[in-house]
Amino acid sequence: MTSILVMNGPNLNLLGTRQPDIYGTTTLAMIEEACHSHGAKLGLAVTCLQSNHEGALIDAIHGARGEQDGIVLNAGAYTHTSIALRDAIASVELPLVEVHLSNIHAREPFRQVSHIAPVALGQICGFGAQGYVLALHALHAHLRDDT
């Protein structure tokens, strides 16, 4: 069975109550449940993980090598700052879809820069919680066409 790791970075544990005008009212638990159920429909075994710590996210990316077939990542603010996260993604050579709830390209200039995008398969942003499910579909299609 194809295995996908869905990763969320800093402050995304607060979804539901965090700036709902920007990020919506869907909680992280609801997003993870949607990933499990939609993933199951696509034949994907989904594992979810959230951390507020850069090193923990890097360790999880390293750990995914040989264990997972792909990664969905919302790195939160680390998207705009972390070369280390980018290097970890490049190192494990797993297909990764970058997700953001908000349209980062329509926001402050510092959010319009992603260090993840150059090492990602692609980026989905601006579709709220639905972006995670769209990312699972994208990875599913990519992995199916690969085999």
| Site residues (vs ligand DQA, CB under 6 A) | 11, 74, 76-77, 79, 100-102, 104, 111
Distance in Å, CB of 9 to ligand DQA, minimum: 7
111 versus 142: smaller Cβ distance to ligand DQA = 111
| Pairing relationship of beta strands 44-50 and 2-8 according to DSSP bridges | parallel
72 versus 104: smaller Cβ distance to ligand DQA = 104
Residues ≥6 apart with Cβ < 8 Å to 136: 4, 6, 35, 38, 39, 42, 44, 46, 72
3-state class of 89 per DSSP?
Answer: helix
Bridge partners, 78 (sequence order): none
68 versus 123: smaller Cβ distance to ligand DQA = 123
Show which residues are catalytic: 23, 100
Residue whose Cβ sits closest to ligand DQA: 76
Contact 100, 135 (CB under 8 A): no
Distance in Å, CB of 107 to ligand DQA, minimum: 7
